[in-house]
Amino acid sequence: MPPLQPPLLLLLLVASILELPAPAAAACSPKKCGDLNISYPFWLEEPGRPPCGSPSFQLNCNGSQALLSRSILGAYQVVQVFAENSSFLAVDRNLPLHDGCPKFWFNISLGLGLSPFVISKRNKELLVLDKCTEQKVTPPGFNRTGCANESFIRLGGEYGSHREPVLPACRLSVVPVLGFPGGDDYVRSMKQGFLLEWTVPSDNCPKCEASGGQCRYANDGTGFSCHCSGDVYPEMCGELTKIN
């Protein structure tokens, strides 16, 4: 490597005296997407910029919708975040939000994969029966949907509380919804979304920021380090062990 040229050396000196934040870190500060203010632990992906956090909390701003990048088909929209109790309201845009008639129904829980999110018990459940090969009469407690492919729907209790309907002729899918504000209008319930909770703190970012540092992540979004005016620490500024 060539020795540092005097102007660059001067610049580095000035930067360290003024303790200028590095541009990459500054770019991770709160962002807006539609009506949502995006802040830690969520972060907004932007082309050509290194990740600002854990991949599970990565958001993509599609026009005015903040979508979880790692959700099924990237279509889980984050509508409102309650950082104080580690939960958020999401709308699954894979659901048939215009007419309530999908090509097929599926369990939303399948789309969460290995993420740190769990579907809150505060949700109610919407039970859907479809692919009913021999079920000609409406099963008790259910209503027929107006959809081309016959399916039946029922508003249930607390999410996860149903017992399996004894209907081997049909396939059951369970959709979490926060409630049924529109009575039997299940499409309106789906549009309002459901509550998800996150269980694991994703890293040490709050601790690092409280100590005056800035959080940085490796290119895959997992490796965490705390940058404190030129020094890099594993967790927070002023620790005994430095990384550099």
Residues that bind ligand NAG (CB under 6 A): 37, 62-63, 67, 74-75, 82, 85, 87, 93, 103, 106-107, 120, 122, 143, 148-149, 153-155, 164, 171-174, 184, 195, 197
User: Which is closer to ligand NAG, CB of 143 or CB of 222?
Assistant: 143
- Name 24's Cβ contacts closer than 8 Å, sequence gap at least 6: 49, 50, 216
d(CA 115, CA 42): 13
Tell the smallest beta-carbon distance from residue 13 to ligand NAG (Å): 34
User: Which is closer to ligand NAG, CB of 67 or CB of 226?
Assistant: 67
Tell the smallest beta-carbon distance from residue 181 to ligand NAG (Å): 13
Residue entry with tokens 């990048």: 69
Tell the smallest beta-carbon distance from residue 84 to ligand NAG (Å): 7
Tell the smallest beta-carbon distance from residue 122 to ligand NAG (Å): 5
User: Which is closer to ligand NAG, CB of 40 or CB of 217?
Assistant: 40
User: Which is closer to ligand NAG, CB of 156 or CB of 237?
Assistant: 156
Tell the smallest beta-carbon distance from residue 183 to ligand NAG (Å): 6
DSSP letter string, the chain: -PPPPHHHHHHHHHHHHHTPPPHHHHTTS-EEETTEEE-TT-EE--TTS---S-GGGEEEEETTEEEETTSGGG-EEEEEEEGGGTEEEEEETTS-TTTS--SS---GGGGGTT-SEEE-TTSEEEEEEE--SS--SPPTT-EE-SSSS--EEEEEEETT-PPPPS-TTSEEEEEEES--TTTT-HHHHHHH-EEEEE-S---SHHHHHHTT-EEEE-TTS--EEEEETTEEESSSTT-S----
User: Which is closer to ligand NAG, CB of 50 or CB of 165?
Assistant: 165
User: Which is closer to ligand NAG, CB of 120 or CB of 225?
Assistant: 120
The residue whose Cβ lies closest to ligand NAG is: 184
Tell the smallest beta-carbon distance from residue 51 to ligand NAG (Å): 20
